[in-house]
Structure 1
Amino acid sequence: MKVLVLGSGGREHAIAWKLARDGADVWVAPGNPGIAADPEISGCVDLVPTDANQVALWCRENNTDLVVVGPEAPLCAGVADELERQGVKVFGPNRQGARLEASKAFAKEVMLEAGVRTAEYAVFEDLEHALNYVSKRSHPIVIKADGLAAGKGVVIAMTEEESREALVSMMQDRRFEEAGARVVIEQFLQGPELSFMVITDSDTVFPLVTSQDHKRLLDGDEGPNTGGMGAVVPSPHTTPELESRLIEEVIKPVLEVLKRRGVVYRGFLYAGIMLCEDGPYVLEFNVRLGDPETQAILIGMQSNLLEPILAAMDGGLEHLAPGVCSSSALVVMAAEGYPESPQKGAVISGLDLVEGSKVFYSGVKKAEEWTVSGGRVLGVAASAGTPQDALKMAYSDVKKIKWEGVQYRQDIGRL
Structure 2
Amino acid sequence: MRVLVLGSGGREHALIRSLAQDPDVIALHCAPGNAGTFAMADNHVLDPTDPLAVVELAQRLSIGLVVIGPELPLVHGVADAVRRAGILCFGPDQAAAEIEGSKAFAKEIMAEAGVPTAAARVCDSSGDVRDALDEFGPPYVVKDDGLAAGKGVVVTEDREAAERHADECDRVVVEQYLDGPEVSLFALTDGSTVVPLLPAQDFKRAYDGDEGPNTGGMGAYTPLPWASPDLAAEVVRTIIQPTIDELRRRETPYVGVLYAGLVLTADGPRVIEFNARFGDPETQVVLDRLATPLSGLLEACAVGSLASVPPIEWRPGAAVTVVIAAENYPGAPKTDDPIAGIEEAEQVEGAYVLHAGTKTHRGLPVSGGGRVLNVVGTGPDLATARTRAYEAAGRIRLRGSHYRTDIAARA
TM-score, length of structure 2 as denominator length: 0.95
| Superposition deviation, residue 127 in structure 1 | 2.3
Instruction: Say if 1:228 and 1:292, in contact at 8 Å, map to a contact too.
Output: yes
Amino acid at match of 1:123: V
Q: What amino acid maps onto 1:363 in structure 2?
A: G
Q: How does 1:13-412 map to 2 (within 5 A)?
A: 13-23=13-23, 24=25, 25-36=27-38, 38=39, 41-135=40-134, 137-170=136-169, 181-319=170-308, 320-326=310-316, 327-354=318-345, 355=347, 356=349, 357-368=351-362, 369-412=364-407
Q: What residue ranges of structure 2 are gaps of 5+ in the alignment?
A: none
The CA deviation string for residues 359-399 of structure 1, in whole angstroms up to 9 with x for no partner, is 11111222244322210001011221112111111111000
Name the CA distance, whole Å, in 1 between partners of 2:344 and 2:189.
39
Percent identity over the alignment is: 42
Q: Is the 8 A contact 1:131 1:167 kept in 2?
A: no
Provide the C-alpha distance between the structure 2 equivalents of 1:91 and 1:26, rounded to a whole number of angstroms. Answer: 15
Structure 2 equivalent of residue 2 of structure 1: 2
Q: Cα deviations across residues 5-51 of structure 1 (Å, max 9, x unaligned)?
A: 00010101110110111121211001112221x2xx23101121111
How many angstroms does 1:351 deviate by? 1.2
* Distance change (3 Å), C-alpha of 1:331 and 1:300: same
Partners of 2:5 and 2:135 in 1: CA distance: 47
SS of 1:133's equivalent?
A: helix
Count of matched residue positions in the alignment of Structure 1 and Structure 2: 402
Is the contact between residue 353 and residue 375 of structure 2 (CA under 8 Å) also seen in structure 1? yes
Q: Kindly state the Cα deviation for residue 236 of structure 1 after the two structures are TM-superposed.
A: 3.3
TM-score when normalising by structure 1: 0.94
Q: Are the equivalent residues in 2 in contact too, given 1:142–1:187 (CA < 8 A)?
A: yes
User: Per the alignment, do residues 119 and 57 of structure 1 end up closer, same or farther by CA in structure 2, a change over 3 Å counting?
Assistant: same
Aligned mates of 1:191, 1:138 — CA distance in 2: 17
Residues 1:414 and 2:403 are matched in the alignment: no
Runs of 5+ consecutive residues of structure 1 not aligned to the other structure: 171-180
Shifted more, 269-278 versus 367-376: the winner is 367-376
CA drift of 1:198 comes to 1.1
**What one-letter code is carried by the residue in structure 2 that aligns with 1:230?**
G
Distance (whole Å) between structure 1 residues aligned to residue 260 and residue 307 of structure 2? 21
Asked whether the 8 Å contact 2:9–2:356 carries over to 1, the reply is yes
Query: CA-to-partner distance for each residue in 1:72-109, whole Å, 9 max, x for gaps?
Result: 11111111111111212211111111010000011011
Mark the CA change 1:149 to 1:277 in structure 2 (over 3 Å): closer, same or farther: same
**Range with bigger deviation, 346-355 or 66-75:** 346-355
